[in-house]
Amino acid sequence: MKLAIVILNWNGQTLLERYLPGVLQYSEGAQVCVADNASTDDSVAYLQEHFPQVTLIQNPENWGFAKGYNEALKSIEADIYCLLNSDVEVSPNWLEAIIRTFKENPEIAIIQPKILDLLKRDYFEYAGAAGGFLDQLGYPFCRGRIFQSLERDEGQYNQPTEIFWATGACMFIRREVFEELGGFDEDYFAHQEEVDLCWRAHNKGYKVYYVPDSHVFHLGGSTLSNMNPKKTYLNFRNSLFSITKNLPRKVAFAIILCRLVLDGIAALRFVVQLKFNHCFAILRAHLSFYRQFRKMYKKREKTDFVSKYYETKSIVWSYYVNNLRRFDDLVKH
């Protein structure tokens, strides 16, 4: 089973200097590739001089996460792709459990490892934690991370389990499934394109899994911090894209109406907090969604939509009203 580790880079020379040596050290037998999104720093020259063994793919412009990976993977021959952020520190033997799980379970198409915080190594990290889920309104959250609340890793999520979405910070996917799905939706540019990809995989009958015997440490926020208005814009807009594309029509329309109201409340909350840039980001997200609604609706595939896509009815209500901060408390409530 041939594995290719593909790191998407944009002006990340410092990150490559720090984390790429570990990837090479602990990934024996895997092809390591860097797909550069037209960096304007010295990333390319640095790789050519210091890591000639790394396969370098140079995209002619910054295509973002979605198209950047779509184009780069076209030139890589492998059975399994590992899409790895440049700010991830891998651990010894991190690939063994992943490869074994793929070999033993042909129905599993996508896997993520345990994602821990690089700076607080006994805590889960924001991007992925112990596997991603959705609530009934399409809001994403993770085991070990609900909104900004991060759990300490105490072994509570040490069992392999099926999840709904795997993080793009460290995602393993079978090549034939990635190609069957048509890769990432390039209209997303970045953020939540992995949620959409996994949702489409579920709709085609594939499984997404969390394998905790493999763990990595993620720095996070290297491209956009969690509180960057551009990230707010992309997350709110792209979430509406996914609902439009991946739910049965009647359900999708009802959920979208609810989301537009709740997103408006979120915008007002940002106003109260004097975070006006985030309020405008939500407004821009909605305007972009309206402009592209017809385009997204046409992307709906003729398939059986999964009926149970959500883990809880409202993560917003559970978190802000019922004051639930841990995933285990959430699902028991």
Q: Does domain 3-218 have CATH number 3.90.550.10?
A: yes
Query: Over 204-230, what HEC string results?
Result: CCCEEEEEEEEEEEECCCCCCCCCCHH
Please list the pLDDT of the chain residue by residue as tens digits (333 residues).
999 999 999 999 999 999 999 999 999 999 999 999 999 999 999 999 999 999 999 999 999 999 999 999 999 999 999 999 999 999 999 999 999 999 999 999 999 999 999 999 999 999 999 999 999 999 999 999 998 899 999 999 999 999 999 999 999 999 999 999 999 999 999 899 999 999 999 999 999 999 999 999 999 865 555 678 999 999 999 999 999 999 998 899 999 999 999 999 999 999 999 999 999 999 999 999 999 999 999 999 877 788 789 988 999 899 989 999 999 888 766
Angstrom distances, CA of residue 31 to CA of 6, 55, 120: 8, 8, 30
Q: What is the pTM of this model?
A: 0.94
pLDDT attached to residue 333? 65
Six-digit token pair at 10?
């944009």
Angstrom distances, CA of residue 319 to CA of 147, 275, 304, 324: 8, 21, 31, 5
Residue indicated by tokens 């359900």: 251
d(CA 169, CA 333): 30
Smallest CA-to-CA distance from 301 within 178, 181, 163 is with: 181
* Per-domain residue ranges of the chain: 3-218, 229-307
Smallest CA-to-CA distance from 310 within 72, 176, 67, 139 is with: 139
